[in-house]
Amino acid sequence: MQTGAAYIRVSTEEQAEYSPDSQLGRIREYAKAHQILLPEKYIYLDEGISGRHARTRPAFMRMISDAKEKPRPFDVILLWKFSRFARNRQDSILYKSMLRKECGIDVISITEQLSKDPTSILIEALLEAMDEYYSLNLAEEVRRGMNEKFSRGGVVSVPPFGYRMEDGRFIPDPEKAPLVAKIFRDYLSGVPSRQIAAALNAAGIRTSRGNSFESRSIDYILSNPTYTGKLRRRIHPGQSEMTLAEGKHTPLVCEEDFRSVQQMLAARRRRLPPYTRQTPADFMLRGLVRCGNCGATLTQSVKGKYLQCCRYARGQCSVSHSVSLSWLTEKVLEQLEADPSCPAPLKRSLPLLRSDKISESQKNELLRSFLSQITFHRPDNTITLSFYNRDLRTGR
């Protein structure tokens, strides 16, 4: 008797598909009729998720991971339709081929039976192509409908901070709407984004998603024209500029204040170098130094000469811990040299840590073998070296 797995997927935009219970019921009937054992632990469900990309479906990826176990946990994967497995030919071919050739597991659609005849390969490919076409065409139709609604001032997105949804329109939130106006007033008066975020966090106020405010959260609010009574949307995929339309909701900020804020944001961007995400540079203390106020990691500045609390930079820590990387590195080495109880292997390695004979990455690995963390205390400019078995506090 074969052991089977069941994969079930339903997506919010496809109204014609069977419900999860209906799909599972049909699969159970097929398994019983074909003497296939279907354990509960091998029933995988992705609900409300598109089949466009496999990587976005957690249950699907868990099923693939389980299928790779030795010995194999099941012999077949049962589907209501092949479209449940994937609506992307590349993913379909990749995972079906891997399951069949590497794991010895077949993928069976209970409603689209294929014979062992070679022509079944062509039929399966045709079904995959039709599924992908349906998915792409459906997405285009949905996008066209949303663009038409947007052009008429209809809401096609979730409400931003300061608004709530009521009868398909943005309505000012009695508690949060005044905060939006205050954010604009504070910024116009010269209060930086980081400080505004810190004040909101200290008051226990959270973003629309329930997260703490960061500098970028404030910048997003300040640059959002929705607060002037407009709506914005990218009409075409890949479009860089937003298209604006007149909305039907109450503005929270006047046009004049909004334009002034945009000028201030643009001036700030001109003063600061453009940020580009890069691979973090290796340095001996990377990932080891902690903020003495909140416990977060100190990370490198853009130019790499200073460390700063990563939460302070986002407005989530109230105390700046900016410190010269070269000064801190020297203080750590001096303390290790002066401490008579420093572990002998680390003591012998100190000359190596000061040399260029090993890379910064290797130095970092060496320190991590003995140190769990280094805490920098801003008020008195001291550090605490936390070894795996004890703590040691330095002087200034």
Confidence class for position 316, pLDDT limits 50, 70, 90: confident
CA distance 301 to 294: 18
What does the pLDDT average to over 272-284? 61
DSSP character string of 267-291 = HHHHHSPPP---PPPP-TTTTTEEE
Contact status, residue 299 vs residue 316, Cβ threshold 8 Å: no
CA distance 73 to 170: 51
Contact status, residue 172 vs residue 229, Cβ threshold 8 Å: no
Helix (H), strand (E) at residue 393: strand 391-393
pLDDT on residue 233? 78
Q: Where in the chain is the domain with CATH 3.40.50.1390?
A: 2-135
> Which one, of 290, 385, 375, lies nearest residue 341 by Cα?
385
CB atoms within 10 A of CB 12: 9
CB atoms within 10 A of CB 22: 13
pTM (two decimals)? 0.46
Q: What percent of the chain shows pLDDT beyond 70?
A: 78
Yes or no: domain 163-271 corresponds to CATH 3.90.1750.20? yes
Residue 284 scores a pLDDT above 50: yes
Instruction: Extract long-range pairs of 130-136: CB within 8 Å, 24+ residues apart.
Output: 131/51, 131/82, 131/83, 131/86, 131/87, 131/92, 132/87, 132/88, 132/89, 134/83, 134/87, 135/50, 135/51, 135/52, 135/87, 135/88
> Which one, of 90, 17, 89, 86, lies nearest residue 57 by Cα?
86
Q: Where in the chain is the domain with CATH 3.90.1750.20?
A: 163-271
Contact status, residue 35 vs residue 2, Cβ threshold 8 Å: yes
Per residue in 17-57, pLDDT tens? 568 888 899 999 999 999 999 999 999 998 876 645 667 78
Per residue in 111-166, pLDDT tens? 876 656 655 555 555 555 555 555 555 556 666 666 676 666 677 678 889 999 88
> Which one, of 189, 196, 191, lies nearest residue 213 by Cα?
196
pLDDT on residue 276? 47
User: How buried is 19 (Cβ within 10 angstroms: 0-12 exposed, 13-18 middle, 19+ buried)?
Assistant: exposed
Residue 109 scores a pLDDT above 70: yes
Residue 75 scores a pLDDT above 90: yes
CA distance 362 to 253: 53
Per-state percent for the chain, helix, strand, coil, to nearest 5:
45, 15, 40
- Position of tokens 């989530």? 316
The domain made up of 2-135 has a fold known as Rossmann fold (3.40.50)
CA distance 87 to 57: 12
Per residue in 354-369, pLDDT tens? 888 888 888 888 888 8
More confident residue, 195 or 235: 195
CA distance 213 to 206: 6
CA distance 236 to 164: 26
Measured N-to-C along each axis, helices 58-67 and 89-102 cross at an angle, to the nearest 10 degrees, of 20
